[in-house]
Amino acid sequence: MAETEQVHAEESSNEEDNESPEPHTSRFRRFKDSNISFGEMVEMVDILKRADYDGKHGPYPNPNVRKAKIMTKVVKSLRWNFGVRRSKDQLRKCWSDLKLREHDQYRRIKRVLQKSDVDIVEEEAHFTSASAHVLIGEIMLCNPDLPKIKEDINDVEKRLKNITDVLGRI
């Protein structure tokens, strides 16, 4: 009889768990299990490409340690920029899927990254030409004031010298 009460108690607790509004999750799960958004993938690919995650640009002494550090940067960046915690394993799988299975998605991401690089270069070129001309113009306008400022400084120095001479006589 005690056994049947225990079984009924377990069944009722399972029913309560199923009826609760929050889904039952493990208390150790800290990472989001949903699909990765396009923006997150762009961020991940950008970091992995810049850091040469695949090691195409040379032999590295400790490739696994290096890859782990790069992936840590990706995890931190996604957390900081998107507020989402992803596991390194989940990101590794996503990277592998992008390269091996999802060629169209990978091409779109590369196109987005190339456009952002072009935009940055155009902004720098714009600064060096137009802004430099404006700055030079402002300097040229201030240039006639420089001799007057030097004269004023010389006048103040002469007055101070006269004052110190008068005080030295006293």
In a domain, 10, yes or no: no
- Judged by DSSP in three states, 84 sits in coil
Q: Where does the pLDDT of residue 5 fall: very low under 50, low under 70, confident under 90, or very high at 90 and above? A: very low
Answer yes or no: is 125 within a domain.
no
Q: Does residue 4 lie within any of the structural domains? A: no
Would residue 18 count as lying in a domain? no
Region 1-23 average pLDDT: 46
Give pLDDT, residue 155.
92
The chain-wide mean pLDDT, for the chain, equals 75
Q: What is the DSSP letter of 61?
A: S
Inside any domain, residue 44: yes
* pLDDT for the residue numbered 158: 92
pLDDT on residue 159: 92
Angle (CA) 79-89-83 rounded to 5° is: 10
Domain of residue 76: give its range. Answer: 30-118
Mean pLDDT of 80-87: 86
The share of the chain scoring above pLDDT 70, in percent, equals 69
Residue 75: pLDDT over 50: yes
> Is pLDDT larger for residue 20 or for residue 38?
38
**Which residue has 């225990």 as its token pair?**
6
For residue 59, being part of any structural domain is answered with: yes
Number of structural domains found in the chain: 1
According to DSSP H, which parts of the chain are helical? Answer: 2-19, 38-50, 63-82, 88-100, 103-126, 132-142, 145-169
Is 94 a domain residue? yes
pLDDT above 90: percentage of residues in the chain: 7
**In the predicted structure, residue 109 carries a pLDDT above the cut 50:** yes
Distance CA 85, CA 30 (A): 7
Q: What is the pLDDT of residue 130?
A: 66
> What does the pLDDT average to over 115-134?
57
pLDDT above 50: residue 81 = yes
What average pLDDT score do residues 92-101 get?
Answer: 88
Q: Number of helices (H) and strands (E) in the chain: give both, helices first.
A: 7, 0
In a domain, 150, yes or no: no
